[in-house]
Structure 1
Amino acid sequence: METTKRAREEVRWEDMLFLLLISGAALLTRFYLFPIESNDYQQFLQNWFATLKENGGLAAIGMNIGDYMPPYFYILALLTYLPFNDLYLIKLVSCAADFVLAYYVMRAVSLRYPGRPQGFMAYAVVLFLPSVVLNSAAWAQCDAMYTAALLACLYYLLVNRPNRAVLAFSIAFVLKLQAIFFAPFLLLLVLKRKIKLRSLVLIPAVYILSIIPAAIMGRSLWDLLTVYVSQSKLYTSLCMSIPNLYAFLGNVASEPLGDAGVIFAGGAVLMLLYALYRKEYTITPDILVTIGLLFAILMPFILPHMHERYYFLADIVSVVFAFYFPKKLYAAVIMCVSSACATANYLFGLVYYPQQLLAVAILINLVLLMKHLWELLSQNPIQRRVEAAV
């Protein structure tokens, strides 16, 4: 507590000025991209917004408009009351999430460097990552929303606030299904008794609370409870422009291969969880950040039906990881370059890289990350027993 207080006292006016200027520059950068209309906006978001507006805004949240969870439609419904361009409004909300995301990255990095400028630099890096800028300001996607909640989850784990961490994960889960990339991470911490099992009741509780307004307004309760089940059946392609394990099969649509791939991913995660559970070690902030990044990369790498933007979480956690381990900067470089290439490929049709080569680079990244994690876990194998005995 004293360290945190002392670190806050050491924040200088230059630091605040830097944050203000870098935030302004980041917002201005995004503003110039606002006129871009992505395919996702033209095919989905524009129609969703128009439907909500034509049917009374919040009065229309009970309609089955799209394949997202209701909280996103609540946000869109509120935006319909504002007399501004719908494209700009949608992007502005996503951009606001960029700043929340950068804030939690700053908080996480500042824990490692109290009173020093690394946290502010991490904030700036996140705001100017190509995948972050393009996702919200050009693509009109909302990946920063669920990712901001997951970074809050990571931050609260680092400061030993497990209930807040689970609550943050629950919020991420009702925003996007991709929050499950962190699910094995939380499960491991439950097994290691860093998170109490009863805390997990927050996940279904937040889910139920998030769908109640839509249910009251007339939407089928069954549809609301099975949004993610329906969503998971929408796409049949094994790989959608993402450099992962299935990039080597090309643009193949195969239901048997897809089902087998999901089981394979489950088996791989189970083996990793078993190994991490059985090994004796003290859970430190370094280990938390490393395991968080490992699952953020591993899940979209081994799961089928992944989209090109599903390394978004890995990009952000890799920035935190790079600040915690400056000698491992390559991990962040590989992830962020790979994501930027996949994003540019989708948005602008720039096929200027071999997708399989990037997949190999990410695989090597995973192997090196596992090696690094195992070295961390082996540094103090008996400390946990000593602490338990005390």
Structure 2
Amino acid sequence: MVALFAAALAWLLWPFFTPDMTAYLIPWLETIRERGVTEAFERPFSNYMPSYLYLLALVSPLTAWFDPMSVIKLLSVAGTIALALAMHRLLGALGVARRAHWAALVVALPSVAFNALLLGQCDAIYVAACVMAVAMAVERRHIAMFIWCGVAVAFKAQAILVAPFFLAIAIQRRVPLVEWFAAPAALLALMAPALLAGWPPADLATVYFRQAGTFGNDIARNAPNIWSLAGMIAPEFAPRLFGLALASALGAAAWFIAKMQIVRLDNVGLVGMAALAALLTAGLLPRMHERYFLLADMLIFAFAVARGTRPAFALAGLVQIGSFAAISGYLGLGAPMVAIGALCMIAATWIAARPLAVPNANDNPPTGRNPRPAVLRPGFRYDIEQRLSFRGSGE
């Protein structure tokens, strides 16, 4: 059924293209074809990191049989398959039964399918690397975790949206600082081929800074977050909130890292916290786009599958609706859809954050053989564990 649904979506969406396809992706592929792989990388021809361009070069011979747009979308489909395999790995680390069936479902999720089959974007590739990094965090393989983090950043800067989670894990578990350098080492390793071909180091070092200024002073671009709502309500004033947005995101990240040091979570709860990190940063950082919640989509999906409760699946559905509504707004359905997406995503973020915002009434019970039971504050009802079951057995 999943295969049939995915095939139907491909048949429906494949002929369509977006402005990004004609303005960026197809010209990059044509540059590689015209110059040849070696000569193409001698000088900058893209505002993406070279990692994605390597893959474009790898599939460029397919243009002898397919049109350029189809070749680019085929690469995006391959990235989606990689994402499904990464989800299978993460669900395996969480001990989920029938994980192959759940991982296959990833390719049919609306936000994933539209990203590959319509937009032709490579977001699934960096999200797959982030999902693998979370799997390594669950298994306590910290060097591998940092390597996958470096790979993710090498494809897309949006990988840093989940950075507070990995930083919190590294601090909480006292991971040796030398192991942290596995992330920049992986990033540099992927940059090396372009550097050796002649790509200027200064250009590589500033790619993401130049990307940030692509759309001028817009505080958000169809992103399902609070700043898109602000832009709808006060379009002239909203760009002035850039500093507030940045400070809010940094403050939320610091709060998240600090709270992660004192909560007790099982492995499934850890994945929920990784999803929360992506929701917080994408929800509060300025200049976010509609596609930047794909990572949160996947992590909250893995959390819901592993937890297996109705509230967890409801939370995952809320995030998926929010993400897809924003994409629909970008595709022409306008600001109302983006606003609906923003409201869904804000509600999902609040629900996911409650295990951190409302901790146990007694996180540090007295020591001894028979510690006194926790006494709840008057009027305080703690039912997060029953409703969302984020908290574990105290691993």
TM-score greater than 0.5 by the shorter chain: yes
Other structure's SS at 2:88 match:
helix
**Structure 1 position 143 matched with structure 2 position 123:** yes
Q: Aligned residue for 1:250? A: 231
TM-score, normalising length: structure 1 = 0.84
Cα distance per residue 1:275-319 (max 9 Å; x no partner): 322x2x445202211111101111110011001111111111111
- Pair 1:28–1:166, CA change in 2 (3 A): farther
Q: Distance in 1 between matches of 2:359 and 2:327?
A: 33
Q: Distance in 1 between matches of 2:143 and 2:225?
A: 33
Identity of matched residues, %: 27
Cα distance per residue 1:199-251 (max 9 Å; x no partner): 22112212222222222222211111221122222232111111201022226
Q: Distance in 2 between matches of 1:40 and 1:194?
A: 43
Contact 2:322 2:341 in 1 (8 A): yes
Structure 2 residues not aligned, in runs of 5+: 367-395
Q: Distance in 2 between matches of 1:55 and 1:318?
A: 42
Q: CA deviation at 1:167?
A: 0.9
Cα distance per residue 1:72-117 (max 9 Å; x no partner): 1111122223313211111111111111211222232244455x32
Q: Distance in 2 between matches of 1:58 and 1:27?
A: 36
More deviation in 177-186 or 69-78?
A: 69-78
Other structure's SS at 2:105 match:
helix
Q: Aligned residue for 1:369? A: 352
Q: CA deviation at 1:194?
A: 5.6
Contact 1:294 1:370 in 2 (8 A): yes
Q: CA deviation at 1:371?
A: 1.7
Amino acid of the residue matched to residue 300 of structure 1? A
Amino acid of the residue matched to residue 239 of structure 1? A
**Structure 1 position 45 matched with structure 2 position 29:** no
> 1:93-104 to 2 correspondence within 5 Å?
93-104=75-86
More deviation in 207-216 or 37-46?
A: 207-216
Q: Which of 326, 330, 341 in structure 2 is aligned with 1:346?
A: 330
Q: Distance in 2 between matches of 1:192 and 1:308?
A: 32
Q: Aligned residue for 1:273? A: 257
Q: Distance in 2 between matches of 1:382 and 1:63?
A: 62
Cα distance per residue 1:152-172 (max 9 Å; x no partner): 111122222221111111100
Q: Distance in 1 between matches of 2:152 and 2:362?
A: 33
More deviation in 336-345 or 301-310?
A: 336-345
Q: CA RMSD in A?
A: 2.6
Q: Which of 149, 155, 161 in structure 1 is aligned with 2:135?
A: 155
Contact 1:290 1:321 in 2 (8 A): yes
Q: Which of 265, 274, 279 in structure 2 is aligned with 1:297?
A: 279
Contact 2:142 2:175 in 1 (8 A): yes
Contact 2:321 2:344 in 1 (8 A): no
Q: Distance in 2 between matches of 1:112 and 1:167?
A: 20
Amino acid of the residue matched to residue 247 of structure 2? I
Q: Aligned residue for 1:59? A: 39
**Structure 1 position 334 matched with structure 2 position 295:** no
Contact 1:152 1:168 in 2 (8 A): yes
Cα distance per residue 1:247-286 (max 9 Å; x no partner): 2222647664323421221122112222322x2x445202
Amino acid of the residue matched to residue 40 of structure 1? D
